[in-house]
Structure 1
């Protein structure tokens, strides 16, 4: 056999060994991930009454890359057979995450467990999912604090924890989620001040903090959220003035601050928000006059200022708002 033929044989042998080794590793990973899901399923209440009946191991754990967990309800895999998506929204899942082995899923990038009956605490171990991009635990019955370890999920783009029973404060570690574009924490019992570290979320487009028990002032650091499109902070206990620096958020289309305890005058800088479509700051303790700069809000369709202590005339500049459909100024001075 010539030198070239020997070289080709050697290359073929190396490729075969590499491929064989890779197949073994993938199969091992599939077995590990499948067993982790089966263990969690076994801990759930009435697991066979949910949509997880397809979660069954084949005889002798004979899991291949083409079957096994990749064919189970709510599970999808990468091309190599490793689980990357777990989507069990509205699947009648009843139980906790106490026995969910987060570390068994190194390639998991998408988790949606919303609209189920999950309860108990959100485990700190969720922070071991370094590739996670999307996490939705909304519309369940989770209680306790938001684990600070969520701050380790630096690739996270969407975090939905709304409509639960979470309490305590927002951990300052959430400010480490620099990739985050949507943060939804509404309809919980979260309290205390909003941490200044949220001002580090420069990619954030939508922030939902409404319907909680937050107190203190609106952090001035929010001026750094330059990509913010929608801001919902209504139905809380915020005090102090509306920060004039909110006028820097020139991409804002929605600003809801109603039903708080905000005081002082309305900053004229709000008139710089040329993209603003809905401004709702009723039911506060705002004083002074309506800024004439509101006439520059050329995209505005809704303006609610009622139930404050505003005084002075209605600015004639409001006549410039040709797209305005809803205007409510009652219960003022």
Structure 2
């Protein structure tokens, strides 16, 4: 049996060896950081003026563990200019956090960054000039919880190895030049809470595997060239609060399954090529505040179920092929601030129930085929800034109640069949800058009260049967 003295000598030898190794490692890390500092421009070096001596643990932006090994390099917003070429990542085996966001760094992302096996946080965002490909083995950083490469000039594809990032909760790659299809492996990152892949050049379909991201709260895919239909699997993303698919080339109908995402706050499918009807399943959106479906080819009528989304603040359905009437249930949306239905094929009368929407600031129903009178109840919308009803077939007089809209900046009723006099009450619209009443059937004198509108910059009255002088 070995003597106690033997174990004591063995322990001393181990401690000496460990100490020597730590010292060697610290020297190596110090030299590496100083070499990188020297490669940056002069102003950057002045920002790192504390980087002197042989103990980086005391330098700005650097933190170490108990044995003096660098674990944290946090230099965001430091005005750094240069590359990462002279930063040998192999010198930092215990690095947990590397953050150089919001600087002016350029060049490629070094491939050896994937050797940082303990890294949990990597931020290279908002440098504008990182270029080249995302390292294809980025998936080796299996402990990452946050990866932010947004707002650079990266190109190439999204590596399939990202599927190995099973601990990742934040993925930010928006605002680059990435292309190719979104890999099915995206659906393997089941810890994702926030996905930013917007403003790139991704093509092809949205992978059905995205439905596996049941914890994801925010999905940003807008501003790409994605095509095909919206996968029905998106309904399995039960935790989503924000869903941004706008400005792509998506086609087909909006799947009924989208109604399964009950906690959505914002849904934006605008500026695609979607067809078919607005699904009645929208009635399930009990938390929805913003619904943007404009700039598509949607047809059919506006479903009456839309009146069940009483949390709605913003409803924009403009620029589609919607037909039929506005459902009277829209009067239930008492929190609504914006209602934009212009450039459709809507018919019938404007429902008086819109006058219940006391929170409205923007009402635009122009370029449709509405008929009948303008409801006097619109005079109840005292928060309204913008009222545009032009290019319809509205008839009858202009309601005197519109004079109650003291916050109105723009009143456009042109190209209808409105008749009778211009009501003197419009002179009460002290905030008005645009009054557009041209190409109607108005008659009688221009009321003198119009001369009180001191903020008026555009007055359009042509194509009527008005008489008398223009008031000043």
- Report the TM range for the smaller structure's normalisation: 0.7 to 0.9
Q: Residue 93 of structure 1: SS of its match in structure 2?
A: strand
CA RMSD between the two structures: 2.0
Q: Which residue of 1 aligns with 2:168?
A: 66
Identify the structure with the greater helix proportion: 1
The reply on whether 1:245 has 2:347 as its aligned counterpart is: no
Q: How does 1:79-90 map to 2 (within 5 A)?
A: 82-90=215-223
Q: CA deviation at 1:53?
A: 3.8
Q: Which residue of 2 aligns with 1:54?
A: 158
Q: Which residue of 1 aligns with 2:72?
A: none
- Equivalent residue for 2:436, pick from 277, 280, 304: 304
Contact 1:172 1:198 in 2 (8 A): yes
Q: Which has the higher contact order (CA 8 A, sep 6+)?
A: 1
Q: CA deviation at 1:83?
A: 1.1
Q: Hey, which bits of structure 1, 4+ residues long, moved more than 4 A?
A: 72-76
Distance 1:111 1:308 in 2: 42
After superposition, the C-alpha distances for 1:263-318 in whole angstroms (9 at most, x for unaligned) are: 00000000000000000000000000000001100000000011011000010000
Contact 1:117 1:141 in 2 (8 A): yes
After superposition, the C-alpha distances for 1:129-177 in whole angstroms (9 at most, x for unaligned) are: 0111010000000001000101211111100000000000000001111
Q: CA deviation at 1:81?
A: 9.3
The reply on whether 1:151 has 2:283 as its aligned counterpart is: yes
Distance 1:81 1:264 in 2: 54
Distance 1:191 1:244 in 2: 24
What runs of 5+ residues in structure 2 fail to find an aligned partner? 1-154, 175-185, 187-191, 195-212, 466-472
Q: Residue 101 of structure 1: SS of its match in structure 2?
A: helix
Distance 1:231 1:114 in 2: 22
Q: Which residue of 1 aligns with 2:400?
A: 268
Contact 1:230 1:255 in 2 (8 A): yes
The reply on whether 1:115 has 2:215 as its aligned counterpart is: no
Q: Which residue of 1 aligns with 2:90?
A: none
Distance 1:132 1:173 in 2: 16
- Equivalent residue for 1:93, pick from 202, 226, 230: 226
Q: CA deviation at 1:73?
A: 4.2
- Equivalent residue for 1:223, pick from 339, 348, 355: 355
Q: Residue 307 of structure 2: SS of its match in structure 1?
A: helix
Q: CA deviation at 1:94?
A: 1.2
Distance 1:263 1:104 in 2: 48
Instruction: Count residues in correspondence.
Output: 277
Q: Which residue of 1 aligns with 2:264?
A: 132
Q: Residue 210 of structure 1: SS of its match in structure 2?
A: coil
What runs of 5+ residues in structure 1 fail to find an aligned partner? 1-50
After superposition, the C-alpha distances for 1:16-58 in whole angstroms (9 at most, x for unaligned) are: xxxxxxxxxxxxxxxxxxxxxxxxxxxxxxxxxxx99427355
The two structures have a TM-score, normalised by structure 1, of: 0.79
The two structures have a TM-score, normalised by structure 2, of: 0.57
Contact 1:55 1:73 in 2 (8 A): no
Q: Residue 223 of structure 1: SS of its match in structure 2?
A: helix
Distance 2:229 2:360 in 1: 34
Q: Which residue of 2 aligns with 1:33?
A: none
Q: Which residue of 1 aligns with 2:313?
A: 181
Q: Which residue of 1 aligns with 2:452?
A: 320
Contact 1:273 1:297 in 2 (8 A): yes
Q: Which has the larger radius of gyration?
A: 2
The reply on whether 1:77 has 2:193 as its aligned counterpart is: yes
Q: Which residue of 1 aligns with 2:69?
A: none
- Equivalent residue for 1:284, pick from 385, 396, 416: 416
Distance 2:325 2:310 in 1: 21
